[in-house]
């Protein structure tokens, strides 16, 4: 955590502050190369303008590729300084985006676990109650993590960074497409929405946890029934707010782009990372002798979920990619053109870590019971889903100036440390085996 914090501060200091700094940096680095690529990317949508010539299209395509362009790129003459300014914004965004990606990644893990937990309640699963305390502990990160994400959003709203282009009034003034979306994309409403999602999730989390602790000393099933209803209510609330959250916090980074299955795509990502985290922490606690009743069959079930939801994620990833690739409509496809040209390795590498690895490693029923196998695959999946968030956020914020360097790694370390601290601290707050759950006996003897 400390290493991460130090690294992040370095990242903020290292971010260039003026256009001159960028010029210096670029001169010392591979200037020609990046410059060349830049032009390439810009010209792609530019060609469409001449062909289609639609009113209002101009602004879109000028900004479409690099959501960050403050001024139009159309004229070649004024290109020089604008280009550097553009890069400057990207580099200034870099530590912010690194922070945002990591904060969101760990937050989404605990959110995914909460969704999984609620599903276990609502489905009256007989295998999982022995893992409830682990899940509850992971969701303990929801509150601080959510507050951190909210603070980051507020900071964006206060124009301390340029993560969200549509928050910049100058950009909006020149951009008819964003202007048409301001009824939804405006800072006060955005923050109110975020507060509603976060408040709702935290409220449900606290109630579920409180009831679960109360259930330990309960004599009847009243509290269980209450939790059952709460979970069902949460799931309804969750699926609506999660979907809107993904539009707000991630899709609006590219305000010119939209995709209808995006909410599900983000959901699959957070769900599988959440389940993977449950598995990893359970195996760790089990190996330390803290989880007496967790056996191979529980791990097997978690591994099955990791396997299945990984495939579900891939299905959604591919459905989103293929539909857009196939129809190749310019205003949609720039999203992927930018990712494929600038982010080739993470964009396709993600498929290997999030699909190929889990499919091949967790297909065998015996392997799902081998703890180190599940751990290794789990780490690969978590890395893959970090990359997934990275590829969703970075192209819109730092564009082609991306690199997984000190700010990115330190942000992960910082939030990883915070996450571990809070989760394991929460684990000490309650006995690791729930009592009074009507399914606990079945769960203890669960065998697959």
Partner 1 sequence: MASKVLHAIYRDDDLLLQAVKQIREARYHIGEIYCPFPVHGLDKAMGLAPTRLAITSFLYGLVGLSVAVAMMNFIMIEDWPQDIGGKPSFSFIENMPAFVPIMFELTVFFAAHLMVITFYMRSKLWPFKKAENPDVRTTDDLFLMEVDAANHNIDDLTDFLYKTGASEIKLIE
Of the pair 107, 312, the CB lying nearest partner 1 is at 312
Of the pair 240, 322, the CB lying nearest partner 1 is at 322
Q: Is 372 in the site for partner 1 (CB under 8 A)?
A: no
Torsion sign over Cα 365, 383, 415, 259:
negative
Sole binder of partner 1 in the list 147, 236, 322, 376 (CB under 8 A): 322
Q: Are 270 and 106 in contact (CB under 8 A)?
A: no
Sole binder of partner 1 in the list 30, 326, 372, 431 (CB under 8 A): 326
CB neighbours of residue 311 within 10 Å: 17
- By CB under 8 A, what part of segment 171-230 binds partner 1? none
Of the pair 10, 325, the CB lying nearest partner 1 is at 325
Q: Is 363 in the site for partner 1 (CB under 8 A)?
A: yes
Of the pair 190, 336, the CB lying nearest partner 1 is at 336
Q: Is 151 in the site for partner 1 (CB under 8 A)?
A: no
Q: Is 318 in the site for partner 1 (CB under 8 A)?
A: yes
Q: Is 51 in the site for partner 1 (CB under 8 A)?
A: no
Of the pair 328, 425, the CB lying nearest partner 1 is at 328
> Measured at the alpha carbon of residue 251, what is the angle toward residues 187 and 50, in degrees to the nearest 5?
100
Of the pair 321, 402, the CB lying nearest partner 1 is at 321
| Window contacting partner 1 (CB under 8 A); options: 49-57, 110-118, 151-159, 314-322 | 314-322
Q: Is 357 in the site for partner 1 (CB under 8 A)?
A: no
Q: Is 352 in the site for partner 1 (CB under 8 A)?
A: no
Sole binder of partner 1 in the list 104, 107, 197, 321 (CB under 8 A): 321
Q: Is 348 in the site for partner 1 (CB under 8 A)?
A: no
The Cα–Cα gap between 111 and 135 comes to: 10
* Total site size for partner 1, rule CB under 8 A: 8
The Cα–Cα gap between 74 and 182 comes to: 25
CB neighbours of residue 258 within 10 Å: 14
> Residue 365 Cβ, how far from partner 1 at the closest point, in Å?
7
> Residue 325 Cβ, how far from partner 1 at the closest point, in Å?
5
| Window contacting partner 1 (CB under 8 A); options: 36-44, 84-92, 196-204, 316-324 | 316-324
| Window contacting partner 1 (CB under 8 A); options: 279-287, 317-325, 410-418, 422-430 | 317-325
Q: Is 257 in the site for partner 1 (CB under 8 A)?
A: no
| Window contacting partner 1 (CB under 8 A); options: 21-29, 225-233, 255-263, 318-326 | 318-326
Q: Is 365 in the site for partner 1 (CB under 8 A)?
A: yes
Q: Is 328 in the site for partner 1 (CB under 8 A)?
A: yes
Of the pair 237, 448, the CB lying nearest partner 1 is at 448
Q: C-alpha 403: how far from its chain's center?
A: 18
Q: Is 329 in the site for partner 1 (CB under 8 A)?
A: no
Task: Name the residues that contact partner 1, by CB under 8 A.
Answer: 318, 321-322, 325-326, 328, 363, 365
């Amino acid at each position: 955590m400390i290493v991460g914090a130090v690294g992040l501060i370095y990242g903020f200091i290292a971010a260039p502050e003026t256009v001159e700094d960028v010029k210096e940096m670029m001169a010392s680095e591979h200037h020609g190369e990046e410059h060349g690529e830049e032009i390439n990317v810009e010209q792609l949508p530019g060609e469409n303008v001449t062909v289609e010539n639609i009113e209002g299209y101009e602004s879109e395509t000028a900004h479409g590729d690099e959501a960050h362009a403050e001024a139009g790129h159309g004229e070649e003459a004024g290109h020089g300084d604008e280009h550097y300014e553009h890069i400057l914004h990207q580099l200034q965004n870099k530590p912010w985006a690194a922070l945002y990606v990591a904060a969101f990644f760990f937050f989404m893990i605990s959110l995914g676990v909460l969704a999984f937990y609620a599903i276990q309640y609502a489905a009256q699963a007989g295998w999982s109650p022995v893992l409830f305390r682990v899940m509850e502990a992971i969701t303990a990160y929801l509150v601080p993590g959510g507050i951190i994400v909210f603070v980051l959003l507020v900071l964006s709203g206060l124009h301390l960074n340029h993560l969200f282009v549509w928050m910049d009034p100058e950009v909006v003034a020149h951009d008819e497409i964003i202007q048409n979306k301001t009824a939804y994309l405006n800072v006060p409403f955005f923050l109110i929405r975020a507060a509603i999602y976060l408040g709702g999730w935290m409220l449900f989390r606290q109630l579920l946890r409180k009831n679960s602790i109360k259930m330990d000393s309960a004599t009847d099933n009243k509290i269980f029934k209450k939790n059952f209803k709460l979970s069902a209510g949460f799931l309804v609330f969750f699926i609506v707010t999660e979907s809107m959250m993904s539009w707000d916090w991630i899709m609006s980074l590219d305000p010119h782009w939209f995709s209808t299955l995006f909410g599900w795509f983000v959901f699959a990502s957070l769900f599988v990372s959440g389940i993977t985290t449950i598995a990893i922490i359970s195996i760790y606690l089990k190996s330390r002798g803290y989880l007496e009743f967790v056996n191979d069959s529980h791990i097997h079930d978690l591994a099955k979920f990791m396997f299945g939801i990984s495939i579900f994620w891939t299905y959604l990833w591919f459905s989103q990619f293929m539909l857009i690739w196939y129809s190749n409509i310019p205003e949609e496809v720039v999203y992927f053109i930018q990712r494929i040209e600038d982010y080739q390795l993470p964009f396709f590498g993600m498929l290997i870590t999030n699909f190929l690895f889990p499919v091949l490693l967790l297909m065998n029923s015996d392997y799902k019971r081998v703890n180190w196998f599940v751990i290794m695959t789990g780490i690969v999946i978590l890395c893959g889903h970090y990359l997934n968030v990275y590829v969703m956020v970075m192209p819109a914020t730092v564009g082609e100036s991306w690199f997984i360097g000190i700010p990115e790694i330190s942000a992960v370390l910082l939030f990883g440390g915070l996450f571990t601290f809070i989760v394991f601290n929460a684990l000490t707050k309650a006995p690791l085996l729930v009592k009074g759950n009507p399914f606990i006996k079945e769960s203890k003897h669960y065998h697959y």
